[in-house]
């Protein structure tokens, strides 16, 4: 390639040029996309309320999942504390808060599993039973899948933290992960209200 | 400006007469939307002329300006870098405003005209003497039931001709439509716009053919392999013709003695599982009602003329005319095939 | 206002020795690259291959439809052809080629070194590519090579309940669903990258209102992707659950709704076509000013109109459903929203017109295609207004009038601008100019073919010819028109082949381009052609929308007027 001329634009500005963080913007975009997917499943759930031709109805079989909900929503607080402590360099505190987050999320999943066991084996409600079964399991299941992914990532973060490999420089990344976790909790608030409160 | 104001009415009447200039001869174009023969098609046509005029005007203005600009400001020399640059104009708020407001006004006018037609077609009150027909779409044929007259038929719809609206002789036909399988769409362009037949949903539309004759159309929503041959034939009969047709359709199946053997073949084969022949053991609902099949002009939902040879070929192997049709080949030997064909031709 | 020579480059001038490389090394480099320029070019190359394949599918359909009751292909094959043609063109030609150009151009235009997430970029490409291969594997994956195959035949919009297990046994529908799920993930990944890059990696001085319009258009497009592609993903998950796990989302026998699929699909489908057209608007907004020798007229209005189109396009979807029985109020609302979207769209056309006005118009090949775009997009928009009037749509919907309308947009507007963008940015990507002479042959042949096919295609729709039919009756009066429509396909094929030949030949024989062959004004023209892997030796800093104009006209910079 021979020498070629190209124009160079000289630096002229002295003001600081600060743009938002890529990780946060990227995660916000992902959250918007995932929110759109959840909205469609919620719309299907609401649209089909009362339209099942047979089978158990929501009010027959659903109970308010109070404990699971409290655990999941509290885990938003604990993950926030994990980020906060890491920002201030307190790694062992961060490990503790991360562990609590994983624990609370796991309790939520266990609660869902218990609820589903009850519904399938005692109430006879499956994905195939009727429109309620179809929309209930898909919506709650989609959310649970997102919880699983989040717990996996949080466990990884916990592992790195316990091994002493996490420092303040990683606080921004942990914050991005915590945004995802807050989103998952936010979705649960909507699912809880639509399925267990208004829809029953 | 309300829909009954004098200006509006005379404008739309003027429109209609102008629009009438563009109507086409139906014989060469039997399914043209520009030769309406019923009120819904007429309303759509008149509206379409308004829409076409506005869009044509916009096209002439904008395309004209584009052409002008290209000719007037075209650069002729081939050297790009050596010429002075033209004056750089970055924008103008007044111009932006004007070409935002004017198109918005045009859009609003067009919208109001359109909304009027939507409501006049869809919310038209149903006259008491309207004929009710239930239409059920199947892969790949049309089921017609006349609930108040006790008639069930397939593929060829007979309706009474309807005088001009408001002239006291209006007998529109109200179609109540759904589907037994996938989505279909009822489209007879000269009579009305299309309405879809959707499983687990009931849609309604109405037609009022203004002149006796045959109106053609076809399914307009992809429904599977033989979507292309799910043709529509709507016969607008004079009141006498219609009454005669109904009377014949209400009778049970003809019992012609020369076809006794064929009837036996029919009733001892799987035919009766899918087809109904009124007054016999055949009560199947999956396929078209054959009680009066010989009274129809076509078979296979308009795909081929109703002749003995075609019936024979179809029964032998439906895929010959309609590959993908849901009727399986019946695997009858030649003798039985001839007998059944004879039987079917007697079902007038 | 004489132009001045730009300042000399401060590039690394040590002679670069090019060692002989193994062919395998080159392949490895391209397979593992995370460089946005290579990924962009892979997207474009991939899309061009599929353009030819889907074009062949169209040609086969047009041969079948040239005369009534033709037996060139069976109904089953024809139904697969139109399904594959539509699905391929939208998802494996349109999306990849437009995101390919975006990938290539955006970092260069904002003075960045690469996209925000280079590895995500590569992942998005490869997963989309796999999706396309999976879709085409369906021809082989079912009944085998001999006359059958499991290619999907449910139409590109795959209406329920035709896609239910009972009506579509076998796996053809699943190939459709899975390949689009994969390419959808790739699309969302690329859109995420574009948003993050645009927001977080602009060079100093490039505030949002100083970005090239192309970057704005890609930003809005990408934001729309998040809200539009996800509903399709959700609906496809539901379809898979129905087909494999016995759920009842679209099972009308269990009380499910066929309409629900339609709503979900079109909530995706309508914004999707704007996702396809907005980048084409971006190309137009860069190319038309350069060849009119004037700044774009009304930059702020163009940005506002783009955002307006983005928002309104999310509310018009049921104009694809005017015939399903939404009720008078539903039909009225969607008519209104659709008519309103014509206002910001019209603003764009008028602004391009005003850019041409008073300019000095150079009709080189990219500009020829851009001019074609302007006329054709105008017509496409006007036939869209016709279709937006619900009672008119009750006649024209699902007919060949609609097919003509959307091909007018997809081919007449979008493909023409893709051709324009190719001729315009090919020199930047390869360092060589494409042949102007071959380009003119391409343009005129394609233009004639396009108009023969798609102008006349409106008429069978008016005469009652519905879509997706493998043959038609001889007594409808559609034959001559179908023959003319089919004849245009031949011209388009030849034109496209000339284009491909030009692309390949110019790579070896084209005139050397230099960094700025068109005397343009945005940042990509300040680096070499092709750019070095790091794009810019020093990060540029800008003060206006046309940094190169400021450099070339220091006595009259844009920054004084903005």
**pLDDT for residue B92 is more than 90:** yes
Sort out which chain C residues have CB atoms less than 8 A from A131's CB and list them: 248, 254-256
- Interface residue C186 vs chain A (CB under 8 A): no
Which among A21, A32, A138 has CB closest to C238? Answer: A138
Q: What is d(CA A24, CA A10) in angstroms, rounded to the nearest whole number?
A: 31
Percent of chain C residues topping a pLDDT of 90: 92
pLDDT attached to residue C20: 72
Q: How confident is the model at residue B5 (pLDDT cuts 50, 70, 90)?
A: low
| Helix ranges (DSSP H) in chain A | 22-47, 58-61, 66-87, 91-117, 131-162, 171-191
pLDDT attached to residue B14: 60
Structural domain of C178:
38-560
Q: How confident is the model at residue C150 (pLDDT cuts 50, 70, 90)?
A: confident
Percent of chain A residues topping a pLDDT of 90: 86
Position C523 in a domain: yes
- Interface residue C481 vs chain B (CB under 8 A): no
In chain C, the number of structural domains is 1
Give the number of beta-carbon pairs within 8 Å between A and C: 164
Q: What is d(CA C516, CA C529) in angstroms, rounded to the nearest whole number?
A: 8
CATH-assigned architecture of domain A66-200? Up-down Bundle (1.20)
- Interface residue A88 vs chain C (CB under 8 A): no
- Interface residue C248 vs chain A (CB under 8 A): yes
- Interface residue C45 vs chain A (CB under 8 A): no
Out of A8-17, B150-159, C38-47, C529-538, pick the least confident. Answer: A8-17
pLDDT attached to residue B23: 64
Which among A32, A40, A47 has CB closest to C235? Answer: A40
Distance in Å, alpha carbon of A36 to nearest chain C alpha carbon: 6
**pLDDT for residue C401 is more than 60:** yes
pLDDT in tens, C340-382: 999 999 999 999 999 999 999 999 999 999 999 999 999 999 9
Sort out which chain C residues have CB atoms less than 8 A from B214's CB and list them: none
Which residue of chain B has the CA closest to C519?
Answer: B81
Furthest-apart CA pair in chain A: how many Å? 79
pLDDT attached to residue C419: 98
pLDDT attached to residue A7: 57
Which residue of chain C has the CA closest to B321?
Answer: C69
Out of A165-179, B69-83, C218-232, C548-562, pick the least confident. Answer: B69-83
Nearest C-alpha neighbor of C430 from the set C111, C155, C37? C37
Return the CATH number at C104: 1.20.210.10
The DSSP letter of residue C524 is G
Position C5 in a domain: no
Predicted complex ipTM: 0.93
Sort out which chain A residues have CB atoms less than 8 A from C8's CB and list them: 5, 8
Decide: B232 and B218 in contact? Cβ < 8 Å: yes
Q: Which of residues 132-151 of C touch A (CB under 8 A)?
A: none
Which among C199, C245, C540 has CB closest to A25? Answer: C199
Of residues A177 and B3, the one with the higher pLDDT is A177
Nearest C-alpha neighbor of B12 from the set B2, B27, B22? B2
How far is residue C88 CA from its own chain's centroid? 12
Contact A19 C13 (CB under 8 A): no
Residues 6+ apart with CB under 8 A from C112: C106, C197, C201, C202, C203, C535
Angle in degrees, CA A20, A24, A28, rounded to 5: 115
Neighbours of chain C (3+ CB pairs under 8 A): A, B
pLDDT in tens, C48-103: 999 999 999 999 999 999 999 999 999 999 999 999 999 999 999 999 999 999 99
pLDDT in tens, A110-133: 999 999 999 999 999 999 999 999
Which residue of chain C has the CA closest to A40?
Answer: C231
**pLDDT for residue C241 is more than 50:** yes
Mean pLDDT for the stretch of residues A87-107:
95
pLDDT attached to residue A11: 55
Distance in Å, alpha carbon of C344 to nearest chain B alpha carbon: 7
Query: What does pLDDT average to over chain C?
Result: 93
Q: How confident is the model at residue C4 (pLDDT cuts 50, 70, 90)?
A: very low
**pLDDT for residue C12 is more than 50:** no
Position C431 in a domain: yes
Position C7 in a domain: no
Mean pLDDT for the stretch of residues A145-163:
96
Contact B228 C469 (CB under 8 A): yes
**pLDDT for residue A76 is more than 80:** yes
- Interface residue A14 vs chain C (CB under 8 A): no
Q: What is d(CA C202, CA C547) in angstroms, rounded to the nearest whole number?
A: 14
Residue C267, phi-psi category: left (phi > 0), alpha (psi -120 to 50), beta (remainder): alpha
Nearest C-alpha neighbor of C492 from the set C400, C371, C381, C411? C411
Q: What is d(CA B328, CA B90) in angstroms, rounded to the nearest whole number?
A: 70
Mean pLDDT for the stretch of residues C140-163:
79
Per-position DSSP letters for B245-308, written without gaps between them: HHHHHHS-----GGGHHHHHHHHHSTHHHH-B-TTSS-B--SS---TTGGGSSEETTTTEE--H
Which among A6, A30, A135 has CB closest to C9? Answer: A6
Residues 6+ apart with CB under 8 A from C237: A138, A142, C181
Which among B62, B86, B192 has CB closest to C360? Answer: B86
Per-position DSSP letters for C283-338, written without gaps between them: HHHHHHHHHHTSPPTTHHHHHHHHHHHHHHGGG-GGGG-TTS---HHHHHHHHHHH
Sort out which chain C residues have CB atoms less than 8 A from B95's CB and list them: 298, 354
Q: What is d(CA C189, CA C121) in angstroms, rounded to the nearest whole number?
A: 7
Contact C477 B29 (CB under 8 A): yes
**pLDDT for residue C457 is more than 50:** yes
Contact B44 C331 (CB under 8 A): no
Distance in Å, alpha carbon of A100 to nearest chain C alpha carbon: 31
Mean pLDDT for the stretch of residues C115-125:
98
Residue ranges covered by each domain of chain A: 66-200
The DSSP letter of residue B173 is E
pLDDT attached to residue A118: 96
- Interface residue C233 vs chain A (CB under 8 A): yes
Distance in Å, alpha carbon of A156 to nearest chain C alpha carbon: 20
Contact B201 C257 (CB under 8 A): yes
Mean pLDDT for the stretch of residues C126-134:
97
Neighbours of chain A (3+ CB pairs under 8 A): C
Sort out which chain A residues have CB atoms less than 8 A from C13's CB and list them: 3
Mutation for B interface: C294, C466, C518, most B CBs within 10 A? C466
pLDDT attached to residue B170: 76
Mean pLDDT for the stretch of residues C449-463:
97
Mean pLDDT for the stretch of residues B210-222:
96
Contact C398 B58 (CB under 8 A): no
Sort out which chain A residues have CB atoms less than 8 A from C241's CB and list them: 127, 134, 138
Mean pLDDT for the stretch of residues B164-174:
71
Contact C192 A10 (CB under 8 A): no
pLDDT attached to residue B1: 43
Decide: C514 and A1 in contact? Cβ < 8 Å: no
Neighbours of chain B (3+ CB pairs under 8 A): C
Mutation for B interface: C2, C4, C323, C331, most B CBs within 10 A? C323
pLDDT attached to residue C221: 98
Distance in angstroms between the alpha carbons of the first and the last residue of chain C:
18
The DSSP letter of residue B212 is S
Between the alpha carbon of residue B106 and those of residues B1, B110, B113, the distances in Å are: 15, 6, 11
pLDDT attached to residue B127: 82
Mean pLDDT for the stretch of residues B302-329:
95
Q: Which of residues 64-103 of C touch B (CB under 8 A)?
A: 74-76, 79
Contact C540 A20 (CB under 8 A): no
Which among C7, C11, C192 has CB closest to A26? Answer: C192
pLDDT attached to residue A3: 36
Distance in Å, alpha carbon of A134 to nearest chain C alpha carbon: 5
The DSSP letter of residue C432 is B
- Strand pairing report for B141-146 and B151-154: antiparallel
Burial class (CB in 10 A: 0-12, 13-18, 19+), A35: middle
Q: How confident is the model at residue C6 (pLDDT cuts 50, 70, 90)?
A: very low
Position C300 in a domain: yes
- Which pTM was predicted? 0.93
Q: Which of residues 410-439 of C touch B (CB under 8 A)?
A: none
């Amino acid at each position: 390639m021979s020498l070629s001329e190209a124009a160079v634009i000289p630096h002229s500005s002295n003001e600081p040029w600060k743009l938002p963080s890529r990780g946060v913007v990227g995660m916000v975009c992902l959250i918007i996309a995932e929110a759109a997917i959840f909205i469609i499943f919620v719309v299907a759930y609401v649209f089909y309320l009362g339209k099942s031709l047979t089978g158990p109805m929501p009010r027959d079989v659903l109970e308010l999942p109070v404990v699971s909900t409290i655990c999941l929503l509290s885990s938003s607080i604990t993950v926030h504390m994990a980020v906060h402590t890491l920002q201030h360099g307190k790694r062992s505190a961060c490990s503790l808060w991360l562990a609590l987050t994983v624990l609370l999320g796991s309790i939520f999943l266990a609660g869902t599993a218990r609820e589903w066991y009850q519904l399938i084996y005692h109430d006879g409600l499956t994905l195939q039973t009727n429109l309620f079964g179809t929309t209930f399991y898909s919506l709650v299941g989609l959310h649970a899948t997102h919880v699983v992914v989040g717990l996996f990532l949080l466990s990884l973060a916990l592992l790195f933290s316990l091994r002493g490999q996490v420092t303040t420089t990683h606080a921004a990344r942990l914050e991005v992960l915590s945004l995802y976790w807050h989103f998952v909790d936010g979705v649960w608030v909507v699912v809880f209200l639509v399925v267990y409160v208004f829809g029953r | 400006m309300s829909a009954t104001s004098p200006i509006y009415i005379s404008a739309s009447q003027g429109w209609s007469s102008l629009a009438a200039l563009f109507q086409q001869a139906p014989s060469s174009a039997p399914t043209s939307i520009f030769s309406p023969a019923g009120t819904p098609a007429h309303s759509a046509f008149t509206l379409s002329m308004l829409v076409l005029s506005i869009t044509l005007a916009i096209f002439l203005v904008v395309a004209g300006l584009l052409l002008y600009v290209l000719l007037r400001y075209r650069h002729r020399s081939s050297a790009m870098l050596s010429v002075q640059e033209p004056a750089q104009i970055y924008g103008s708020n007044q111009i932006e405003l004007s070409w935002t407001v004017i198109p918005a006004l045009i859009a609003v006018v067009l919208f109001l005209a359109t909304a009027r037609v939507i409501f006049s077609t869809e919310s038209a009150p149903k006259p008491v003497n309207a004929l009710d027909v239930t239409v059920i779409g199947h892969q790949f044929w049309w089921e017609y039931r006349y609930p108040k007259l006790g008639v069930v038929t397939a593929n060829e719809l007979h309706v009474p001709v309807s005088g001009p609206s408001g002239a006291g002789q209006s007998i529109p036909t109200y179609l109540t439509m759904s589907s037994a399988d996938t989505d279909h769409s009822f489209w007879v362009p000269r009579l009305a716009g299309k309405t879809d037949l959707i499983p687990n949903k009931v849609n309604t539309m109405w037609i009022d053919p203004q002149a006796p004759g045959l109106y053609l159309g076809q399914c307009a929503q992809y429904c599977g392999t033989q979507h292309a041959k799910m043709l529509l034939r709507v016969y607008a009969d004079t009141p006498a013709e219609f009454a005669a047709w109904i009377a014949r359709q209400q009778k049970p199946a003809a019992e012609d003695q020369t076809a006794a053997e064929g009837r036996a073949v029919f009733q001892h084969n799987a035919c009766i599982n899918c087809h109904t022949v009124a007054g016999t053991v055949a009560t199947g609902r999956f396929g078209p009602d054959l009680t009066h099949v010989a009274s129809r002009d076509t078979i296979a939902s308009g795909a081929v003329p109703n002749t003995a040879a075609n019936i024979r070929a179809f029964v032998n192997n439906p895929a010959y005319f309609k590959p993908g049709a849901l009727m399986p080949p019946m695997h009858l030997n030649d003798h039985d095939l001839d007998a059944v064909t004879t039987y079917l031709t007697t079902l007038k | 206002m004489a132009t001045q020579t730009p300042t000399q480059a401060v590039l690394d001038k040590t002679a670069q020795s090019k060692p002989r490389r193994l062919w395998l090394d080159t392949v490895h480099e391209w397979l593992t690259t995370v460089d946005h320029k290579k990924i962009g070019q892979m997207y474009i190359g991939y899309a061009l291959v599929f353009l030819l394949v889907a074009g062949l599918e169209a040609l086969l359909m047009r041969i079948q439809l040239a005369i009534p009751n033709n037996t060139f292909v069976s109904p089953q094959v024809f139904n697969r052809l139109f399904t594959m043609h539509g699905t391929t063109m939208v998802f494996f030609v349109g999306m990849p080629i437009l995101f390919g150009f975006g990938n290539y151009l955006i970092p260069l235009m904002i003075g960045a070194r690469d996209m925000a997430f280079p590895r995500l970029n590569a992942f998005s490409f490869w997963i989309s590519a796999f999706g396309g291969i999976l879709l085409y594997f369906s021809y082989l994956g079912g009944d085998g090579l001999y006359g059958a195959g499991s290619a999907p035949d449910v139409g590109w919009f795959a209406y329920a309940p035709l896609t239910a297990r009972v009506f579509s046994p076998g796996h053809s529908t699943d190939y459709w669903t899975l390949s689009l799920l994969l390419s959808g993930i790739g699309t969302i990944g690329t859109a995420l990258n574009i948003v993050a890059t645009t927001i977080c990696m602009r060079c100093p001085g490039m505030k949002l209102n100083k970005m090239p319009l192309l970057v704005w258009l890609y930003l809005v497009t990408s934001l729309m992707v998040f809200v539009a592609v996800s509903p399709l993903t959700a609906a496809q998950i539901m379809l898979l659950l129905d087909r494999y796990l016995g759920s009842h989302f679209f099972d009308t026998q269990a009380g499910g709704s066929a309409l629900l699929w339609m709503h979900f699909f079109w909530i995706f489908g309508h914004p999707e076509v704007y996702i396809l057209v907005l980048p084409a608007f971006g190309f137009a907004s860069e190319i038309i000013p350069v060849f009119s020798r004037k700044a774009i007229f009304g930059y702020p209005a163009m940005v506002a109109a783009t955002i307006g189109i983005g928002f309104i396009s999310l509310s018009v979807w049921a104009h694809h459903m005017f015939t399903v029985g939404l009720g008078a109020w539903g039909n009225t609302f969607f008519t209104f929203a659709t008519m309103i979207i014509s206002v910001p769209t019209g603003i764009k056309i008028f602004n391009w017109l005003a850019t041409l006005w008073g300019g000095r118009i150079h009709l080189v090949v990219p500009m020829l295609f851009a001019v074609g775009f302007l006329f054709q997009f105008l017509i496409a928009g006007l036939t869209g207004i016709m279709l937006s009037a619900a009672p008119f749509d009750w006649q024209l919907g699902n007919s060949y009038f609609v097919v003509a309308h959307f091909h007018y947009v997809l081919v007449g507007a979008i493909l023409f601008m893709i051709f324009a963008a190719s001729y315009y940015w090919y020199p930047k990507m390869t360092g060589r100019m494409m042949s102007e002479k071959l380009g003119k042959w391409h343009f005129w042949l394609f233009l004639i073919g396009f108009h023969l096919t798609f102008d006349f295609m409106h008429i069978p729709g008016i005469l009652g010819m519905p879509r997706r039919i493998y043959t038609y009756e001889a007594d409808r009066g559609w034959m001559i028109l179908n023959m003319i429509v089919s004849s245009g396909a031949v011209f388009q094929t030849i034109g496209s082949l000339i284009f491909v030949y030009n692309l390949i030949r110019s790579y070896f024989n084209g005139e050397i381009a230099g960094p700025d062959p068109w005397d343009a004004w945005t940042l990509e023209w300040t680096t070499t052609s092709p750019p070095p892997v790091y794009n810019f030796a020093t990060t540029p800093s800008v003060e206006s929308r046309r940094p190169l104009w400021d450099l070339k006209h220091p006595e009259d910079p844009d920054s004084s007027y903005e």
